[in-house]
């Protein structure tokens, strides 16, 4: 039965094409209205008023609004608590249903439940759709009917379940409601300031996503597997922030990966589904270890060590370069995310939750599921078949993935004059060599904050509490 009016609630899906909720609304209603809420509950928790993510969202909404206006509609924008704004707007517009794409974060699910309850009281349906994942809820389960807890078996089951129907685009053709809209508020009206996204070359919106995707698909996707681990090389897609805010369709990316037989790239997209699934089925991971026994670990209380890690002053060049990249740009290469996370938890012995929170504040592409999953993977407390004694050696990682020190030289310029041999472990130079290169350890660049070999032994001792007792 065709509805007279419907409301589409945009959240982390800021595009007007291949959009599951919009497609369903256009197919099911004569008039469709579109809304986005700058949720004050979310905004109030942000640590700074100069937040690149808010700026990115605002600019992406301007592009979305323009696209919707070309369709005869426009974007209604509200600033308040979504749990109040959405039911109030739905009543004011006289819609029969509110359409939205699913979110898997615990707070978002609680919010949606509250909205659905208020709408139900008013006789309005709340309909949610799968959009930011290929498979969700109970789509991919073990033979016993339970959620997977290790990636590789999940990936195999995911691939076995996949058919062409799973990546078909959702058509978004139809009539939008011609309501007069005020446009997107300025950042200042939201209590925020402009950021440096333009200076960093970050292009928001559907057009920014399209530009990155076209370049990656035409030039680099075929070489992704060989180049993805080298931070000094342009080998990855740089689409993470666009996937986070849905300015590009996941289905389109999966479809291209299948067509190009880009198995490694497809595997990275499957990781996203996996972490969404984990957060959805095991919401305790948002604050606790996936494996409860790992919450018995006694983490080091070392604020000076944490501060050195945050500021890129640990004395380990690759770690410091990675953290400085994050602080400068709000982005970090994925290989380096693993390196610095391992260093914080297993060299410094600091709780993974401290690193997770720092990343949450700094990352432009912050996504609770992926961020939490990555940190728990590094700490060995999460969904991983590898045990706790997987500890990255920061020097070995540096020598392997930045062999010429190009990445280090960019973000740790005080080491720029060092040879390829010494740039990975500058403390190994003799005093004479240090003086000749004007890189005196302890004066021009920090001495290593820990000795990796000793730290490894301390970590093995710290993690001993999770060892299963041997059978008699």
- pLDDT by residue (tens digit) across 347-359? 999 999 999 999 9
**Which position among 84, 252, 268, 399 bears the catalytic label?**
268
C-alpha span between 150 and 154 (Å, rounded) = 7
Please tell me the CATH code under which domain 132-168+206-281 is placed. 1.25.40.80
**Model confidence pLDDT, tens digit, residues 295-310:** 999 999 999 999 999 9
Fold of 3-131: Rossmann fold (3.40.50)
**Which position among 334, 399, 427, 433 bears the catalytic label?**
334
Given this model, what pLDDT does residue 470 score? 43
C-alpha span between 257 and 94 (Å, rounded) = 42
Residue 299 a catalytic site member: yes
Mean pLDDT across the chain, nearest whole number?
A: 95
Strand partners, 41: none
3.40.50.1820, 1.10.579.10, 3.40.640.10, 3.40.1280.10: CATH of 292-466: 1.10.579.10
**Average pLDDT over every residue of 224-237:** 97
**Which position among 213, 265, 271, 377 bears the catalytic label?**
271
**Which position among 158, 213, 309, 352 bears the catalytic label?**
352
C-alpha span between 397 and 462 (Å, rounded) = 23
Tokens of 158: 């995911």
Given this model, what pLDDT does residue 471 score? 37
Q: How does DSSP classify residue 80?
A: E
Q: Phi and psi for 37 in degrees, rounded to 5?
A: -115, 120
Residues of the chain with CATH 1.25.40.80: 132-168+206-281
Q: What percent of the chain has pLDDT over 70?
A: 98
Residue 352 a catalytic site member: yes
**Average pLDDT over every residue of 188-213:** 97
Residue 158 a catalytic site member: no
Given this model, what pLDDT does residue 1 score? 62
Residues of the chain with CATH 1.10.579.10: 292-466
C-alpha span between 18 and 250 (Å, rounded) = 9
Contact 24, 8 (CB under 8 A): no
Q: How does DSSP classify residue 74?
A: -
From 220, 202, 206, select the one nearest 248 (Cα to Cα).
206
Q: Phi and psi for 214 in degrees, rounded to 5?
A: -60, -40
C-alpha span between 322 and 137 (Å, rounded) = 35
Tokens of 278: 């984990």
Q: Phi and psi for 393 in degrees, rounded to 5?
A: -90, 115
From 428, 376, 370, 371, select the one nearest 398 (Cα to Cα).
428
**Average pLDDT over every residue of 57-64:** 98
pLDDT band, residue 466 (cuts 50/70/90):
confident
Residue 302 a catalytic site member: no
Task: Give the sheet arrangement for strand 75-80, strand by strand.
Answer: 75-80, 29-39, 3-10, 97-101, 125-129
The residue whose two tokens read 């139900």 is 120
**Which position among 213, 331, 375, 377 bears the catalytic label?**
375
**Which position among 84, 215, 252, 299 bears the catalytic label?**
299
Residues of the chain with CATH 3.40.50.620: 3-131
3-state secondary structure of 381: coil
**Average pLDDT over every residue of 410-429:** 97
From 207, 202, 270, select the one nearest 238 (Cα to Cα).
202
Q: Is pLDDT above 50 for 54?
A: yes
- Report which secondary-structure segment, H or E, holds 419: none
């Amino acid at each position: 039965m065709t509805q007279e009016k419907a409301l589409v609630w945009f959240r982390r899906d800021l595009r007007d094409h291949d959009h599951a909720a919009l497609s369903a609304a256009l197919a099911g209603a004569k008039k469709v209205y579109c809304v986005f809420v700058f949720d004050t509950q979310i905004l109030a928790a942000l640590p700074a008023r100069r937040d690149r993510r808010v700026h990115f969202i605002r600019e992406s909404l301007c592009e979305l609004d323009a696209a919707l206006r070309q369709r005869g509609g426009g974007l209604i924008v509200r600033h308040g608590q979504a749990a109040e704004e959405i039911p109030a707007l739905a009543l004011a517009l006289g819609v029969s249903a509110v359409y939205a794409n699913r979110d898997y974060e615990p707070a978002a699910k609680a919010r949606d439940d509250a909205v659905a309850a208020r709408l139900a009281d008013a006789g309005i349906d709340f309909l949610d759709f799968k959009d930011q994942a290929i498979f969700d809820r109970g789509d991919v389960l073990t033979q016993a009917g339970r959620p997977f807890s290790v990636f590789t078996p999940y990936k195999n089951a995911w691939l076995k379940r996949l058919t062409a129907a799973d990546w078909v685009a959702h058509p978004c053709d139809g009539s939008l409601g011609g309501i007069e809209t005020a446009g997107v508020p300025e950042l200042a009206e939201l209590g925020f300031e402009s950021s440096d996204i333009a200076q960093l070359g970050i292009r928001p919106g559907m057009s920014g996503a399209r530009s990155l995707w076209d370049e990656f698909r035409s030039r680099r996707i075929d070489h992704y597997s060989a180049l993805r681990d080298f931070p000094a090389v342009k080998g990855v897609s740089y689409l993470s922030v666009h996937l986070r805010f849905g300015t590009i369709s996941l289905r389109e990316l999966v479809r291209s990966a299948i067509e190009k037989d880009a198995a490694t790239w497809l595997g990275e997209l499957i990781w996203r589904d996996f972490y969404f699934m984990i957060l959805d089925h095991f919401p305790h991971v948002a604050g606790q270890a996936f494996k409860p026994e790992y919450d018995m670990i006694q983490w080091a209380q070392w604020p000076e060590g944490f501060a050195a890690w945050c500021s890129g002053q640990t004395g380990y060049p690759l770690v410091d370069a990675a953290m400085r990249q994050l602080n400068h740009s709000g982005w970090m290469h994925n290989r380096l995310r693993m390196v610095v996370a391992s260093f914080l938890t297993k060299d410094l012995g600091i709780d993974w939750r401290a690193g997770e929170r720092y990343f949450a504040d700094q990352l432009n592409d912050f996504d609770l599921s992926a961020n939490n999953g990555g940190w728990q993977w590094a700490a060995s407390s999460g969904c991983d078949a590898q045990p706790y004694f997987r500890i990255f050696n920061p020097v070995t990682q540096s020598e392997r993935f930045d062999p010429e020190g190009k990445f280090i030289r960019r973000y740790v310029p005080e080491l720029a004059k060092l040879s390829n041999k010494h740039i990975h472990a500058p403390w190994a130079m003799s005093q004479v060599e240090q003086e000749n290169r004007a890189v005196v350890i302890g004066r021009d660049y920090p001495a290593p904050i820990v000795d990796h070999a000793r730290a490894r032994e301390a970590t093995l001792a710290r993690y001993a509490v999770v060892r299963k007792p041997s059978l008699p």
